[in-house]
Amino acid sequence: MKVVKKASGGKSAGGLGLQLPLIVRFPEVLRNRLHSLQAAFDSAIKSYGYDSHYQGVYPVKCNQDRFLVEDIVEFGSPFSFGLEAGSKPELLLAMNSLTKGSPEALLICNGYKDEEYVSLALTARRLDLKTVIVLEQEEELDTVVEVSRALGIRPVIGLRAKLRTKHSGHFGSTSGEKGKFGLNTMQILSVARKLEKMDMLDCLQLLHFHIGSQIPSTALLADGVGEAAQIYCELSRLGANMQVIDVGGGLGIDYDGSRSGGSDMSVGYSLDEYAAAVVRSIMKACDRKYVRHPVICSESGRALVSHHSILVFEAVSSAPSDYAPHNLELAHLMEELGDECRTHYRNLMAAAVHGDWDTFSASADKLKRQCIEMFKDGSLNLEHLAAVDGVCELVAKSMGVSDPVRTYHINLSVFKSVPDFWAIGQLFPVLPIHHLDRRPAVNGVLSDLTCDSDGKMDTFIGGKSSLPLHEIGGGGGYYLGMFLGGAYQEIDGPHSFAVTRAVPGPSCADVLRAMQHEPELMFEALKRRAEDCAAAGGDALACGLARAFHSMPYLVSAGGEAHVDVADCVLVANSDDDDSAPSRYGSTDGLSSMLSSACSDEEWDLFTA
């Protein structure tokens, strides 16, 4: 609470004057998670006598926040911990961050790829970053080969395998042979043969796979890793220069504290057990085929960053459900009802005297339905209707069966701050961080301040439909915290757009700037690296980097035809013939200046033409 009061307090009182909700980060928790993951694999490798090492990467899609990524690179530098990117903006921020990290750190390039993406990834290799381009589709090989030959940079290639092993839970939709990503066995074999014909089989060095997020058990994990390890061994047999097996994500966290493998909200293993299952499965397959043990890589984003931050928000008011009308003579009003209504009223009162809940409930239901029909017809006034509701609630409360759940109005948007709760039913621990010296005396649900009926939290850890809370006092708000939301929740909040005119969408630099990165400074750092690494071709590299910051984050369509990007509600025109069409590059003045400074006059004229 000291942190919250310092952050939200007025500046005149020594506070920072920040508005709630707040995200409070704990870098030491992040450091502990990374060190614990590394220690778990180091221990398993030593225990089994595994003849290689573990070298993880952080998938920046989990949370691209600048300071978080920089912390991971710093904390992971002693272990050569790297980064994984799945889009052009992510690749740019990963390149910039890794210039400050270990020179041995891996830069894994996943996601669908166009020529711009591949060119940028190969530029990263020219900057002495250990970049691996992972093929998600067989046809991406042609793009990689074509661009690498044009740039004169020999690529390091990985394959994403589409395993038969399937994760049956909610997060397993991208796994199995019908999964969204990866190459099946026929495509893997085809890629290997194409590389062999082009005398590039030595470029194939990594096998990647992903069983699915929140892998529930080590049995499923071992099954998938074992299958992938066999593919790795077969690629080695075929002559590929295999070095690394990337087991992807899937290391789960225990959201509900049950440590159960039968729920999407938990997992039935520890970090040590996870690492042991991975090491044991790979070692078993490789020893059987007499294949050298590969470097083990994982992309454990959720397990790394979920714990390091807390979403702090404020309940500003509460509305009890067990209210009764005031200043109304209930008995008198009830006697003014019609004969049928009075009969139901007397039946429910008699049932209450005898403690017969079933009869009371049935009579109360009949009375309420009868009265609302009369109210709709105009034969019953508001005071009588309120008296009926009040009597039923008061009698139920006296019988000890009333449901006193209150609605607490919270100052945030569930859609923006906790999108996975709304979108996929993901539960997060929510607890009061206020009045912890007192026992909670109220059960409540949380309703946000949006005008949408889905903007509420009424399901909590353990399947409970309410949360133990304190009374909101008269001295200010009531603070709560949501935990384990450091992955995905801070970046996935939906945005609404109204199309008023067609304009170019955000550039890679715009996307980076939205997450507190500084594209101009990133460019200058990469430009200096280009000048250091390639004395002769530094200017050309710098110009290519500037173009990358200025380009669109999404894939560039082939053929130059105009197309509408529905997700961003913008018209992106790639026609070379229409001078009036908006450029597909952004219009940021700072980036225009970086382009002009990085490119020669001839290149700049060509670019702006």
Tally the C-alpha atoms within 13 A of residue 383's C-alpha that lie toward its C-beta. 12
- Pick the catalytic residue: 341, 371, 451, 543? 451
Q: Are strands 405-410 and 309-319 parallel, antiparallel or unpaired?
A: antiparallel
Residue of 46, 45, 538, 36 lying closest to 300 (CA atoms): 36
Q: Specify whether the CB–CB gap between 337 and 385 falls below 8 A.
A: no
Per DSSP, 59 falls in state: E
Closest by alpha carbon to 120, among 92, 99, 154, 90?
Answer: 92
Question: Could you tell me how far CA 92 lies from the centroid of its own chain?
Answer: 19
Task: State in Å, rounded, how far the first CA of the chain is from the last one.
Answer: 57
- Which residue matches tokens 């190459």? 183
Active site residue 451: yes
Give the C-alpha separation, 197 to 501, whole Å: 50
Amino acid at 568: D
CA Rg value for the chain: 30
β-strand 478-482 against 430-432: which pairing, if any?
antiparallel
How many contiguous H segments (helices) and E segments (strands) does the chain have?
21, 18
CB 87 within 8 A of CB 553: yes
Cβ contacts of 601 within 8 Å, gap of 6 or more: none
Contact 324, 394 (CB under 8 A): yes
CB 335 within 8 Å of CB 286: no
Tell me whether strands 82-85 and 57-59 are parallel, antiparallel or unpaired.
Answer: parallel
Q: Which residues are catalytic?
A: 451
